[in-house]
Amino acid sequence: MASQPTEIPKTFYDFTVKDAKGNDADLSVYKGKVLLVINVASKCGLTNSNYTELNELHQKYKDQGLEILAFPCNQFGAQEPGSNEEIEDFVCTRFKSEFPIFDKAGKWGFFGDDIQWNFTKFLVDKDGKVSDRYYPTTPPLALSQMHKGLEILAFPCNQFAAQEPGSNQQIEEFVCTRFKSGFQIFDKIEVNGDNAAPLYKFLRLGKWGFFDDDIQWNFAKFLVDKEGKVVNRYYPTTLPFSLEHDIKKLLAESHEC
């Protein structure tokens, strides 16, 4: 479970979550980075396109300050049923991903509504504020036009049709092996409902507090700026490279640490 800050959180950096191995991960280590935060699943129809583009996006902008954070979630169609270990193995083996995979999450919301599905995306600016949200269908490469300081954070979630059923290890192995992903996979979480992780409640509130709808599906995406503020949210169908313009804009912004 991700920890709940003792005070009302002001930025993304106020949270501590679990990584795919169950260790505490203090998100303040990402200060000054542009963050792409996604709930992921290994058995979703959006899995191949999203992980492929997320890897390309991470490789293109990681040296300029982009981080991708992935959170496995099994809430959408039970498409992430594995353990964290199985998820991590899947991601690392199949996709060769290098970004972080966190603990499996449940679905919960901050842009006002629930996460709609796997691969919803959030953009976090360099101040740690959520600046935007992208739907699961938004391709990662669509978040183009960004330069330095982007990191992609992926959060596995099994809430959508049980499409992330594996353990954290299985998820991480899946991402790293199949997609050769270089971003981090975190502990599996829930993103919607009463058991939603506090971090995703924060993300769903968004920049102005009116994005508070549920995550719709796997691969919802959020962009977080260099100050830890949520600046945008993208639907699960938004492919990662569709965010490139927004990412480059945030990376180009100056930030004094």
| Residues noted as catalytic | 44
**Which class for 29: exposed (0-12), middle (13-18), buried (19 or more C-beta within 10 A)?**
exposed
- For 58, the enclosing helix (H) or strand (E) is helix 47-61
The 10 Å CB-count burial string (b at 16+, else e) for 52-68 is bbbbebbbbbbebbbbb
For residue 231, the SS3 value is strand
Q: What is the DSSP string of 111-145?
A: EEEEEEEEEEEEEEEEEEEEEEEE-TBS-BEEE-S
| 3-state percent breakdown (helix, strand, coil) of the chain, nearest 5 | 25, 55, 25
